[in-house]
Amino acid sequence: MKRFFAIFMFIAVISVSDAWAQFTVEDDTKKQTAGEVTIQNQLQNIDVSTEYYSEAKARLERQRIRKERNYLEITFKLQGTMTSYNEAWSDTKGGDNAITVLGSFNLIHTYKKERFSNNTQISAKFGYNRLRVDTEDGDREGVWFKNIDEFWLQVQPKLALNERWSYTAMFKFKSQFTNSYLSRTQQTDDDVITGFLAPGNMDFSLGMDFASANKKFPIKISLFPLSGNGVVANNELVERYYRNKNATSWFGVDIDKNFLFTGGSSVKLEFKRSWGKNNWFTYDTNLYCYYGWITNVSNMGKIREYEDYLVALDKWEAEGSPEGLAPASVPRHEMLHPTVDWRNSIKIKASKYFDTELTVNMYYDKAQNSAVMIKSFLALGLTYTFKNK
């Protein structure tokens, strides 16, 4: 009886207890792969920030950089005077009808990026006046005559060493637009004394540049120990004028040649400052001096030979120019003298669009004239200046 009771209790315990089982179903046809299993991450990093590319914003940024690196100033001027008298006034008190018109253009562009900068300047002036002159038939006629004609281009890159000193190079070219005549009553093809590329002057220079940090005295000095100067003379009408005068040279160039290049050193001094409210008074001066000492040294022997020839020629002419005793001619080689170009300008601004300008230019070049050449004019007229900043 006890044995049946034990069996009964065992069956009861099993019937009220939880049971767990685990089964694994495998495909017998599946081949197992030996080795480690490599898990590849197929997800890519995605920028989830709120910033995004804007074409308008990028364009404004490029404009800001251009404006920061570039400075542009353009000035147009139109100046003139006119006087008019009728015959009664002229016959009683005198006077002459006259018209003067002068136009000018100036451009300054400066590019700067870190230590490098480049300055480009362009200047052009052109003017005519009209006065009455006596004609061959005894009458008086108004004749237009050019009184100013010039243009020049200057490019000067710099590499800054510090706040004041820079390595620099300079190229400058200057000439005129049209032909200039001997006088108001002599304006034929035989009276053309200068013209485009007659002369044309080119300057090439390498050296150092000093700029004062004092805003009250903003002087700039460029020292060029190595400089070159080229003179172009290429105009048939101007050449005809000099040949008719039996000249042996024109603008320092031999009459049978069109170009002369010399080497030497040069120095340039610049000063420009404005005073008063709205900068109503401005003084601007520019002094440039070139001396072709390198060419003088290299041609010293030829220069002495030519000077001896001139002495012998004068002696031969003083003796009556005996036939068969004339000294043998030698090529012309003369000592080069310094060339000086000094420009001064005083501007008084009456208003935004009106100003008065006094300009004085002194120029010395013995190859063209042994005397100092001076040009000056005083004018009042319209002016307009554009600046990008």
pLDDT in tens, 291-326: 999 999 999 999 999 999 999 999 998 988 888 888
C-beta atoms surrounding 374 within 10 Å: 11
Question: Tokens 């004068």 label which residue?
Answer: 314
Where does residue 217 rank: exposed (0-12), middle (13-18), buried (19+ CB within 10 A)? exposed
User: Hey, what are 364's tokens?
Assistant: 């010395």
The mean pLDDT of 339-364, rounded to a whole number, is: 94
**Structural domain contains residue 385:** no
**Structural domain contains residue 268:** yes
**Structural domain contains residue 236:** yes
- CA-based nearest residue to 367, from 273, 265, 242: 242
Cβ atoms of 160 and 117 within 8 Å: the answer is yes
Cβ atoms of 259 and 232 within 8 Å: the answer is yes
Return all residues near 171 (Cβ < 8 A) that are at least 6 apart: 154, 155, 156, 202, 203, 204, 205
**Structural domain contains residue 125:** no
For residue 5, pLDDT over 70 is answered with no
Query: Chain-wide mean pLDDT for the chain?
Result: 87
The mean pLDDT of 365-374, rounded to a whole number, is: 91
Which neighbouring-strand residues pair with 265?
291
**Structural domain contains residue 340:** yes
- C-alpha span between 232 and 292 (Å, rounded): 16
Domain count, the chain: 1
At 106, which helix (H) or strand (E)? strand 98-113
**Structural domain contains residue 103:** no
**Structural domain contains residue 37:** no
pLDDT in tens, 126-166: 999 998 888 777 777 889 999 999 999 999 999 999 999 99
Domain span holding position 225: 112-119+148-292+336-377
pLDDT in tens, 45-79: 655 555 667 888 888 888 888 888 999 999 999 98
Q: How confident is the model at residue 218 (pLDDT cuts 50, 70, 90)?
A: very high
Using CA of residue 181, residue 183, residue 186, residue 191, what is the dihedral sign? negative
The mean pLDDT of 234-254, rounded to a whole number, is: 94
What share of the chain has pLDDT > 90, as a percent? 61
**Structural domain contains residue 49:** no
Q: Largest Cα–Cα distance of the chain, in whole Å? A: 182
